[in-house]
């Protein structure tokens, strides 16, 4: 982790520094996840703006390991997560990576337990704040739902558009969204796939604050500062109780995760599930067959 002046520690998905004495060495790949310390707060940035911060294996490893490092660092008392660039917080899963047959989940069973993006079932005790700097769709909304608090830019939007692609929101959105906002509103978002604005999300209680886009990270760090002014162990115990976390798991969600996985497995074998992404890639209206 970096304090802004010292080099950050290496994480999977991060690039390492290249020695200035190697003029012919290839330039390192840009890190997929950046970390920076701000006092007792770890700022984590999804750093794939060219892909609208979509989640690939590098993001899943980088974000998951950053959370794990924060959990075991006694000097880190809160985590703020944001996205690089002006447009997107996170566009969800990287469909191009999927189309190339690349895995999004780590093979390591411990990291695989952390869920989508290394985040949605990674139940750390340190409070997490999503600083949503742009649109958060699909998995991006599911990351926000998995966070303890959300600060949104006034340009942000939230939605689960998976039904428009013949698939479902399998990273917790289908049961976490109805648990966090009025069910009828959640069902409209889920069944139509239409997004809501940051202002509407604030009205619904999906986010805590809405601020100008340029201020979203600063506002999230300010909120984190209000948390870290308190006794850290009391905060962490309070979070575990509020979220029902025991031994790193939320027992109340177990049946919902099992149902989500089962339904997703069946859906993936349908013609519509193949048609949706294909139509999206070909920029045409899908031809649904209900089979």
Structure tokens at 4: 């802004």
Residues in the chain: 291
Taking the CA of residue 68 as centre, how many other CA atoms within 13 Å lie in the half-sphere pointing to its CB?
17
Contact 151, 216 (CB under 8 A): yes
Is the distance from CB of 150 to CB of 90 less than 8 angstroms?
no
Lowest mean pLDDT among 81-95, 171-185, 277-291: 277-291
Q: Which CATH architecture has domain 33-282?
A: Alpha-Beta Complex (3.90)
Write down the pLDDT at residue 128.
98
When pLDDT is averaged across residues 254-266 and rounded to a whole number, the result is 96
User: pLDDT at position 17, please?
Assistant: 31
Q: Region 185-212: what's the mean pLDDT?
A: 98
Q: How far apart are CA 106 and CA 109, in angstroms?
A: 7
Q: Which residue has the tokens 């189309």?
A: 99
Residue extents of the structural domains in the chain: 33-282
Comparing 48-57, 69-78, 98-107, 196-205, the range with the smallest average pLDDT is 98-107
Dist CA 218 CA 199 (whole Å): 19
DSSP labels for 145-162? HHSSEEEEETT-EEE-GG
- Burial (CB < 10 A; 0-12, 13-18, 19+), residue 280, is middle
pLDDT at 28: 62
DSSP secondary structure string, 92-122? SB-HHHHHTT--SS-SSHHHHTT-GGGTTT-
User: What confidence score (pLDDT) does residue 95 get?
Assistant: 79
Encode pLDDT of 4-53 as tens digits: 333 333 333 333 332 334 444 544 678 999 999 999 999 999 999 999 99
Taking 80 as the threshold, does the pLDDT of residue 3 lie above it? no
3-class state of residue 17 by DSSP: coil
Average pLDDT for 205-211: 98
Q: Residue 203 pLDDT > 70, yes or no?
A: yes
Residues 6+ apart with CB under 8 A from 284: none
In this model, does residue 222 exceed pLDDT 80? yes
DSSP reduced 3-state for 4: coil
pLDDT at 229 over 80: yes
pLDDT at 62 exceeding the cut of 70: yes
The pLDDT of residue 11 is 37
State residue 74's pLDDT score: 97
Token duo for residue 97: 């990576």
pLDDT score for 15: 34
Catalytic positions are 142, 162
Report the candidate in 250, 236, 245 with the shortest Cα–Cα distance to residue 125.
236
User: Which backbone phi and psi does 163 adopt, to 5 degrees?
Assistant: -65, -20
User: Tens digit of pLDDT for each residue in 84-105?
Assistant: 999 999 999 987 887 778 888 8
Separation CA 181–CA 206 (nearest Å): 6
Span 270-291, mean pLDDT? 90
What is the CB neighbour count within 10 angstroms for residue 249?
13
Mean pLDDT, range 97-121, rounded to an integer: 90
The percentage of the chain sitting over the pLDDT mark of 90, rounded to a whole number, equals 80
Place of tokens 């009828």: 184
d(CA 99, CA 160): 20
State the pLDDT confidence band at 186, using cuts at 50, 70 and 90.
very high
- Running DSSP on this structure, what letter comes out for residue 24? T
**pLDDT value at position 117?**
97
């Amino acid at each position: 982790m970096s304090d802004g002046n010292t080099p950050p520690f290496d994480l999977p998905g991060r690039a390492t520094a290249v020695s200035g004495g190697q003029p012919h060495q290839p330039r390192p790949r840009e890190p997929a996840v950046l970390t920076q310390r701000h006092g007792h707060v770890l700022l984590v940035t999804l750093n794939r703006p060219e892909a609208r911060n979509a989640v690939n294996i590098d993001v899943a490893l980088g974000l998951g390991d950053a959370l794990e490092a924060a959990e075991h660092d006694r000097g880190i008392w809160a985590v703020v997560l944001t996205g690089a660039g002006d447009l997107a917080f996170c566009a969800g899963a990287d469909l191009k990576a999927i189309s190339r047959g690349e895995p999004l989940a780590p093979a390591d069973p411990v990291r695989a337990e952390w869920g989508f993006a290394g985040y949605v079932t990674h139940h750390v005790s340190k409070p997490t704040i999503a600083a949503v700097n742009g649109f958060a769709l699909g998995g991006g909304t599911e990351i926000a739902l998995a966070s303890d608090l959300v600060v949104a830019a006034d340009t942000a939007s939230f939605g689960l558009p998976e039904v428009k692609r013949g698939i479902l929101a399998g990273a917790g959105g289908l049961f976490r969204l109805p648990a966090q906002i009025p069910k009828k509103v959640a069902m409209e978002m889920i069944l139509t796939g239409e997004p809501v604005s940051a202002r509407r999300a604030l009205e619904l209680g999906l986010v805590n604050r809405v601020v100008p886009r340029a201020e979203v990270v600063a506002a999230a760090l300010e909120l984190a500062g209000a948390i870290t002014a308190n006794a850290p162990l009391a905060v962490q115990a309070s979070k575990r109780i509020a979220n029902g976390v025991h031994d790193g798991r939320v027992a109340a969600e177990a049946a919902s995760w099992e149902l989500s996985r089962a339904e997703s497995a069946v859906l993936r074998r349908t013609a519509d599930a193949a048609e949706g992404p294909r139509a999206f890639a070909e920029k045409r209206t899908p031809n649904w067959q209900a089979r």
